[in-house]
Amino acid sequence: MLDVREDLTPMMAQYTDLCEAHDDALVLFQVGDFYEAFCAAAETVARVCEVTLTKREDSTGRYPMAGVPIDNAASYVERLLDAGYRVALADQVQPAEEASGLVDRAVTQLVTPGTLVDDAYLEGSTANYLAALVREAAGTEATYGLALVDVSTGECLVTSGSRETVSEELERRSPAELLTGPELDDVGADLVPEAMHTSYDPSVFEHDTARAHLRRYARPDVVLANDAEVRATGAVLAYAEYTQGGDHLDYVSRVTRFDARESMRLDATALASLELFESRSRSGHTLMGTLDETACALGRRRLEAWLRRPTVDRHEAEARLDAVEALSREGVVRETLHDRLREVYDLERLVGRVSRGRANARDLRSLATTLAVVPDLREALAALDHDSARLADLTDRLDDCGDVRSLVEEAIVPDPPQEVTDGGVVREGFDAELDDIRATEREGRAWVSQLEATERERTGIDSLEVGYTQVHGYYIEVTNPNLERVPEDYTRRQTLKNSERFYTPELKRREDEILSASERADALEYEVFCEVRASVADEGERLQALADVLAELDVLVAFATIAVDRDYVRPTFGAEAIEIEAGRHPVVERTTEFVPNGIDFSQGDVALITGPNMSGKSTYMRQVALTCVMAQAGSFVPASRASLRVVDRVFTRVGASDDIAGGQSTFMREMAELTDILHAATDRSLVLLDEVGRGTATTDGLAIARATTEFIHDEVGASTLFATHYHELTGLEAEYDGVFTLHFTADRDADGVTFLHRVAEGPSSSSYGVEVARLAGVPDRVVERARALVEAADRHEAAERDPDTADPSRHAATNGEHVRTSTDADSAEKAFSKPRQTSGGRAKSAPLPDPSRDSHGDPNHVVGGVLADIERLDVARTTPMDALSLLHELQRRLDDADQET
């Protein structure tokens, strides 16, 4: 900053003061049509915004200066935010004409990632949260309070709980900015690494200050649970106010307390691996994207909220499903509702802008358009024959706010300009005084437009013209040859090359009258507009309540539309175990000819799933989880029947093989995630495990996988899908009642590998490594020999464990045909896959060796050596490239042996 205060010009002193008052932000200082920054800040602005760094020169010296045009400020502010800055907009708050010397300036808005309000900054319709987190230490257990506010819509949510609970909620909401109480300042930056971490005036976190603050917002019926919640909420509101220029935020009228445990818990890992909102592949497909048939931004935000927090209240889910079912029966009503909802603007944000005094006339018209939809919605719903209590309730709560709509429609012209200060906004007939002034202006203009004709007649100059310029105002123009005919009362105004311009006293009088009328009218219009806007703001709470109803209705209509279009079925709750018949993956089935697969947890809690890579294991596991998520969000599900029970939490430990970081660190992470699952899962949870134990040596890995399965079976009782390459693990089925096995198969023909993507009961016929060898085209004799060796080893092991269960038929297989154990056979048809024609995916890996290259008459010792090498191979730790080159090498050895004979 500038060093010597006394030397500064008044403007620079003003700038320096504002910078000091907002030392956590980059101050953009309005100078006319530009926002400027000076000195060090100028260098930042120039670098980040890629604008020219210039110099400002005044009586006291030269400073670096950089500026961005105010008209286009949003795009530059966004860059500064992205670069991690908060931006303080210091506007001229006094018209330049009125200032005697220096114009007054004040910071009207502090733009931070968590407190964005302008559509220019907000991405789509997703909620943008500012979060505040505090910790209250009481005894050994600390309680964390979390408050979230979306400053653009006024939504304010509060909860509290253990560190784990609030961390999970933070992951779920992914706030753009996190404010922490002084006790958490040290760790704040690590809690939500993507968010901007803000430390603010510690006093707002003090209990009494916070409570006083909160009282100005919360309705008396909002009961917060504890001090932690009060402190977090008071602080978040104080900071939100501070960023919006310090005024009370009227539209934050709904402080809502929720219990983080009232919803299905989905942590960041689960959200990511189920691809609820973000895709892990280049396709970009997500559950949200697939289900988003909402018609308006309100609905889109609500859908996202419901998917982020599926309910665990069975009655709530059923209430939504009743409504969806009713809507799904009546196509015409549903389409009418959907069509009308498309005309609904983002009411929550509109009301936010109205209350902040930032809405323009177009916003008010958008609001009126939205309200105009409401009577049609009521009518459509009235035509629906239903017994859904939820729909009835929503219909009752559809308040069309007719008074607000009439006010706007009567006051504001239908297609108003962007600017509200230049007139053309208020409708004729709304304000008598305004109409009078406009009439005066119109009469004046009419008189002027007659003037040319009257003056031509009076002077006899046919070429005489009347015109207007910004600088000189109205004039009468006479060409040089006609100058001698100019009457006495003409006064010269301007001389041009071929003509002269004049005015008359009457013309001057009229001109003044027109101009002053126009100016007064513009000013009065602005005043009237502000009054109308304030009256609308007074109805903010009603409007927000309406927005709430519209949001929910939109999602229910969208769910019903999807249910019909995609052949979803209504799930039922209350079953002892999850049973899904012919289930599909809602996202994958959109782009693939999908093979439906069922699951039946009434057979046991833990399903062990085997099958080669790409055969469909992880798609299958995810589709079960997505079905539960969708059902508890209130949607129908992709299946022919789904009998569910409420799931309290979905855990996923998926994708070790996709992890970029390899080796020990991956394994550590895998184990850390496993630890969380084993500690926190309940018998109401759904657990997906993919390849647990792969990150370490085979014996260790198998041991961990086995112990995990046993623990889940004995201690946890969670419904678990466990995909594994450890063929040996499937032996547990015989030992434990609650463990059952499923497998996916793949076939090889002349064209390569074909995946059926169909799940079947029982374990795979052979171990993963042997199966891969077969698919890769290793000669049949080698494969069969390998298979026999594995089976012998399995039998041996089983016999050691328990002589009675060593059933050789269990793993017997002939030439790729899989034999089911007899107990499985009956139920298999019932519980599984409605058979469907399969196209099957093709492996897209490197070309496989030609299967016709079978080796003939190879000496036994070469085959023995090849087998030994295959056995030694740690498949879990072999990359596809290594596997291919090894195969190549093995084939070469077999070929060589051929040649020798």
CB of 786 to ligand ADP, least distance (A): 21
Torsion of CA 415, 417, 421, 424, to 10 degrees: -50
Reduce the DSSP state of residue 213 to 3 states and report it. Answer: helix
User: Within positions 433 to 472, which residues make up the interface with ligand ADP, using CB under 6 A?
Assistant: none
Residue range at the interface with ligand ADP (CB under 6 A); choices 467-475, 607-615, 634-642, 794-802? 607-615
CB of 572 to ligand ADP, least distance (A): 23
Residue 427 is given by DSSP the state P
Q: How far is CA 385 from CA 293, 391, 393, 550, in A?
A: 23, 11, 14, 20
Burial class (CB in 10 A: 0-12, 13-18, 19+), 59: exposed
CB of 840 to ligand ADP, least distance (A): 8
CB of 770 to ligand ADP, least distance (A): 17
- Indicate the residue among 313 and 658 with the shorter CB distance to ligand ADP: 658
The answer to whether 594 touches 290, Cβ cutoff 8 Å, is no
CB of 877 to ligand ADP, least distance (A): 17
End-to-end CA distance of the chain: 89
Please select the residue that binds ligand ADP; options are 370, 618, 627, 764, rule is CB under 6 A. 618
Give which of 762, 617, 630 is closest to 691, Cα–Cα: 617
For residues 36 and 41, give the distance between their C-alpha atoms in angstroms, rounded to a whole number.
9
Residue range at the interface with ligand ADP (CB under 6 A); choices 139-147, 210-218, 529-537, 606-614? 606-614
Strands 155-161 and 254-257 turn out to be parallel
Give which of 228, 243, 247 is closest to 181, Cα–Cα: 228
- Indicate the residue among 598 and 616 with the shorter CB distance to ligand ADP: 616
Q: How far is CA 11 from CA 43, 60, 138, 605, in A?
A: 19, 12, 51, 73
CB of 157 to ligand ADP, least distance (A): 36
- Indicate the residue among 471 and 660 with the shorter CB distance to ligand ADP: 660
Residue 178's H or E segment, with its range, is strand 177-180
Residue 755 is given by DSSP the state E
- Indicate the residue among 273 and 561 with the shorter CB distance to ligand ADP: 273
User: Within positions 84 to 143, which residues make up the interface with ligand ADP, using CB under 6 A?
Assistant: none
Concatenating the DSSP letter of every residue in 325-370 gives: HHHHH-HHHHHHHHHHHTT---HHHHHHHHHTT---HHHHHHHHHH
- Indicate the residue among 546 and 688 with the shorter CB distance to ligand ADP: 688
Chain centroid to Cα 856, Å, comes to 60
The answer to whether 119 touches 418, Cβ cutoff 8 Å, is no
CB of 534 to ligand ADP, least distance (A): 56
Interaction pattern, residues 561-600, with ligand ADP; x per rule: CB under 6 A: ---------------------------x---x-xx-x---
- Indicate the residue among 38 and 744 with the shorter CB distance to ligand ADP: 744
CB of 742 to ligand ADP, least distance (A): 12
Residue range at the interface with ligand ADP (CB under 6 A); choices 346-354, 361-369, 617-625, 712-720? 617-625
Residue range at the interface with ligand ADP (CB under 6 A); choices 212-220, 518-526, 612-620, 727-735? 612-620
Residue range at the interface with ligand ADP (CB under 6 A); choices 138-146, 202-210, 327-335, 614-622? 614-622
- Indicate the residue among 597 and 685 with the shorter CB distance to ligand ADP: 597
Structure tokens at 669: 């992470």
CB of 892 to ligand ADP, least distance (A): 29
Residue 613 engages ligand ADP in binding (rule: CB under 6 A): yes
CB of 693 to ligand ADP, least distance (A): 16
Strands 606-610 and 739-749 turn out to be parallel
- Indicate the residue among 172 and 725 with the shorter CB distance to ligand ADP: 725
Q: What is the number of residues in the chain?
A: 901
Residue 821 is given by DSSP the state P
Helix 540-565, helix 314-329: angle, nearest 10 = 70
Please select the residue that binds ligand ADP; options are 8, 134, 558, 614, rule is CB under 6 A. 614
CB of 841 to ligand ADP, least distance (A): 5
CB of 190 to ligand ADP, least distance (A): 33
Residue 615 engages ligand ADP in binding (rule: CB under 6 A): yes
- Indicate the residue among 30 and 615 with the shorter CB distance to ligand ADP: 615
Residue range at the interface with ligand ADP (CB under 6 A); choices 181-189, 615-623, 780-788, 869-877? 615-623
Please select the residue that binds ligand ADP; options are 320, 533, 757, 810, rule is CB under 6 A. 757
Residue 754 engages ligand ADP in binding (rule: CB under 6 A): no
Name the strands in the sheet holding 265-266, side by side, starting at the edge strand that comes first in the sequence. 265-266, 649-653, 686-690, 719-723, 606-610, 739-749, 752-761
- Residue type for position 814: T
User: Within positions 397 to 436, which residues make up the interface with ligand ADP, using CB under 6 A?
Assistant: none
Residue 610 engages ligand ADP in binding (rule: CB under 6 A): no
User: Within positions 816 to 855, which residues make up the interface with ligand ADP, using CB under 6 A?
Assistant: 841
- Indicate the residue among 251 and 768 with the shorter CB distance to ligand ADP: 768
CB of 603 to ligand ADP, least distance (A): 20
Residue 863 engages ligand ADP in binding (rule: CB under 6 A): no
Residue 619 engages ligand ADP in binding (rule: CB under 6 A): yes
- Indicate the residue among 479 and 592 with the shorter CB distance to ligand ADP: 592
| Backbone dihedral region for residue 369 (phi beyond 0: left; psi -120 to 50: alpha; all else: beta) | alpha
Give which of 794, 252, 777, 737 is closest to 541, Cα–Cα: 252
Burial class (CB in 10 A: 0-12, 13-18, 19+), 23: exposed
Beta-bridged to residue 748, according to DSSP, are: 753
Half-sphere exposure of 260 (CA within 13 A, CB side): 25
CB of 592 to ligand ADP, least distance (A): 5
- Indicate the residue among 738 and 769 with the shorter CB distance to ligand ADP: 769
For residues 525 and 359, give the distance between their C-alpha atoms in angstroms, rounded to a whole number.
15
Reduce the DSSP state of residue 126 to 3 states and report it. Answer: coil
- Indicate the residue among 593 and 896 with the shorter CB distance to ligand ADP: 593
CB of 746 to ligand ADP, least distance (A): 9
Residue 273 engages ligand ADP in binding (rule: CB under 6 A): no
The answer to whether 34 touches 67, Cβ cutoff 8 Å, is yes
CB of 557 to ligand ADP, least distance (A): 29
- Indicate the residue among 457 and 593 with the shorter CB distance to ligand ADP: 593
- Indicate the residue among 614 and 639 with the shorter CB distance to ligand ADP: 614
The answer to whether 562 touches 291, Cβ cutoff 8 Å, is yes
CB of 568 to ligand ADP, least distance (A): 16
Reduce the DSSP state of residue 49 to 3 states and report it. Answer: helix
Residue 694 engages ligand ADP in binding (rule: CB under 6 A): no
Residue 617 engages ligand ADP in binding (rule: CB under 6 A): yes
**Helix extents (H) in 566-616:** none
CB of 847 to ligand ADP, least distance (A): 19
Residues that contact ligand ADP, how many (by CB under 6 A): 15
Chain centroid to Cα 277, Å, comes to 6
Structure tokens at 238: 């104080």
Beta-bridged to residue 649, according to DSSP, are: 265
- Residue type for position 211: R
Please select the residue that binds ligand ADP; options are 616, 695, 762, 763, rule is CB under 6 A. 616
Q: Which residues bind ligand ADP (CB under 6 A)?
A: 588, 592, 594-595, 597, 611, 613-619, 757, 841
